[in-house]
Structure 1
Amino acid sequence: MLSRDSSPRRRRWWKMGLEACELPPPQSMSPENAVPRILVITPVRDERAHLAATIESMTAQTLRPTAWMIVDDGSTDGTGELIDRAAEEHSWIRGLRRPDRGRRKVGGGVIEAFDDGLARFDLDDFDYVCKLDGDLRFGERYFEALMEKFAADPRLGTASGKCWDKTASGWTLLRTSDEFSLGAAKCYRVECFRAIGGFVAEVMWDGIDCHRCSMLGWKARSFHDEDLRLYELRPMGASHRSVFHGRWRWGWGLHFIGTHPLYAVAIACYRTFERPFALGGMCILGGYLWAALRRVPRYPDPAFRRHLRRWQLARLRLS
């Protein structure tokens, strides 16, 4: 079980390196647990405008999660009251309120809230654990279709659908690699989640985890299936300040995790063709260069950074 006192263990694997680690074959669910036991944790902060749509999507699922914990991370817009009403109406929904720290904590804040919710459960009671954002809408077969993907591949450690963003011309698919589960809706096989040590409370946590999966021989995937569409009610890559700040933060995070400079340039060029056109890519590259010039400390796992750069250079050669 991951709990509040798991942080020392998590700090230790930063220094261990995992290049030579091997996992035993994944364990299948026992017959009595043939229906997947799914735990969903949703950290939110000032999401009243969007959370109602997420609650509506969750309560309509053909395969309902076993438990859903919505963690209010210090909201001041009435989000907590919305959570309370949902918990009163549905016994499998629970709410948790955290005190307002007075500011947003980029990267680490959402994972601290997630871990706080997770600590209220025993992972031995579940087969899958999901981190789900509170500003999404999705179809009624989302979790059923996702469980079908896990059942078809025993080495699939984490998975999600694909995100769609609303534009002036309608809903547009957000271009993301198939080799990552999306941070907005990560679902993990509990065995894999434990193996990687949970999420890291840092910027780019949602890329670090997928690379750690591959280091350990697990697969991370996002799927294009229609049943797995996730509709973002707020622009992906935007921060609470602006899209431009979100892109700058993205570039800063690329430096933090140890991204190769050539790969950072490639990402910036690739994203220039997305809204905000040209400026978004420039902000990504600007954030990366600013962090490099300021010698911002990097993610403290040399083995991880070596693995990341090998993967990135291999992708550049393929492209």
Structure 2
Amino acid sequence: MNPTAYLLLTAARNEEAHIEGTIQAVIAQTQKPVRWMIVSDGSVDRTDEIVSRYAALHPFIELMRASADPTRNFGSKARAINAAYERVRRLDVSFVGVLDADVTFDPSYYAAVLQRMLDAPRLGLAGGMLFDWSDGQFIQQVTDPDWSVSGPIQLFRKDCFEAIGGYLPVRGGVDAVAEVMTRMKGWKVQAFPELHVMHHRQTGTEQRGLLSVFFQRGIEDYQLGYQALFFAGHALRRIREPPWLLGSLLMATGYAWAFLRRTPRKVPSDFIRYLHTEQWTRIRARFYGRQGETL
């Protein structure tokens, strides 16, 4: 078997404006996936038609239809991704990629990520650097490449994806949960800033306004168990993201709102304990000046 054989999983709902560009980007890859499962998650636009047209021409593409969740959220994405994986989990591949339906990248993108993963056997989750479309331009996401790979482009070693049990179907933050669980299982997470991926909308804005997205991020960070001091640094870093300072303030407001309401956590207690230990380690490293440790 080719040691870089991989499959892709995509959950798409009403993506007629973007999915064709994503399909063309995958078709153009110098190393194509063995199978690409595209789940139409209750689409009512031309998404199914577009995918079917390309699937007829490219046998590695397969359309799978799923019943719509009444509200579009990351929990429904997780369920769609997990259902698609169950259909293809017995394929003889070494890597599993989760790909959103609104991104584009260079023809060598997947070959480059796969080679980097081959060179680092403990690298369980990898990807490039995401650039969100905002205010008429692509802006690099604010993230720490040593700790995080953006949700739209997460590529897992298959053993790692199996070990974490796929995506946990929580409402919001499934990609962040996957990152933490990857490290809990002893794998590394790494993004490669030199590999650019264009995201043709700002993350999380599919069905919500930009301002509500940042408020919801604060709620989700609380529900995921973020330690308060770590969250403060995390929110401050978002000053560099549109809508700049306002986004950070809205995140802080969302976190405080969830704290005051004692909003239930949505992850297991062992997950929260591990996350707190990891975040305190990063805080101490930050204050003692070690390189590569940011909030």
TM-score under structure 2 normalisation? 0.92
- How many angstroms does 1:78 deviate by? 1.3
SS of 2:11's partner is strand
Aligned equivalents of 1:208, 1:57: Cα separation in 2: 27
- 1:1-319 mapped onto 2 (5 Å cutoff): 33-104=1-72, 106-168=73-135, 170-178=137-145, 179-202=147-170, 203-225=172-194, 228-319=195-286
Aligned equivalents of 1:95, 1:143: Cα separation in 2: 21
The question of whether the paired residues in 1 share the 8 Å contact of 2:142 and 2:241 is answered with: no
- How many angstroms does 1:279 deviate by? 1.3
> CA 1:275/1:140 → structure 2, altered by over 3 Å: closer, same or farther?
same
Segment drifting more, 164-173 vs 122-131: 164-173
Structure 2 unpaired stretches of 5+: 287-295
The question of whether the paired residues in 2 share the 8 Å contact of 1:157 and 1:213 is answered with: yes
Aligned-partner residue type, residue 220 of structure 1:
V
Aligned equivalents of 2:11, 2:136: Cα separation in 1: 30
Aligned-partner residue type, residue 317 of structure 1:
R
Aligned-partner residue type, residue 194 of structure 1:
E
The question of whether the paired residues in 1 share the 8 Å contact of 2:134 and 2:242 is answered with: no
> CA 1:198/1:101 → structure 2, altered by over 3 Å: closer, same or farther?
closer
Aligned-partner residue type, residue 158 of structure 2:
V
Superposed CA offset, 1:234-267 (max 9, x none): 0124341111121112111111111111112212
Partner of 2:293: none
Aligned equivalents of 1:80, 1:271: Cα separation in 2: 36
Structure 1 unpaired stretches of 5+: 1-32
Aligned equivalents of 2:199, 2:128: Cα separation in 1: 12
Aligned equivalents of 2:91, 2:136: Cα separation in 1: 46
> CA 1:204/1:102 → structure 2, altered by over 3 Å: closer, same or farther?
closer
Aligned equivalents of 1:42, 1:303: Cα separation in 2: 29
- How many angstroms does 1:124 deviate by? 4.9
Partner of 1:21: none
Aligned equivalents of 1:220, 1:214: Cα separation in 2: 7
Aligned-partner residue type, residue 65 of structure 2:
R
The question of whether the paired residues in 1 share the 8 Å contact of 2:69 and 2:76 is answered with: no
Aligned equivalents of 1:80, 1:238: Cα separation in 2: 22
TM-score under structure 1 normalisation? 0.85
Partner of 2:291: none
SS of 1:55's partner is helix
For these two proteins, the number of residue pairs brought into alignment is 284
**Percent identity of equivalent pairs:** 31
Aligned-partner residue type, residue 223 of structure 1:
F
Superposed CA offset, 1:67-99 (max 9, x none): 001100011121111111111111110001112
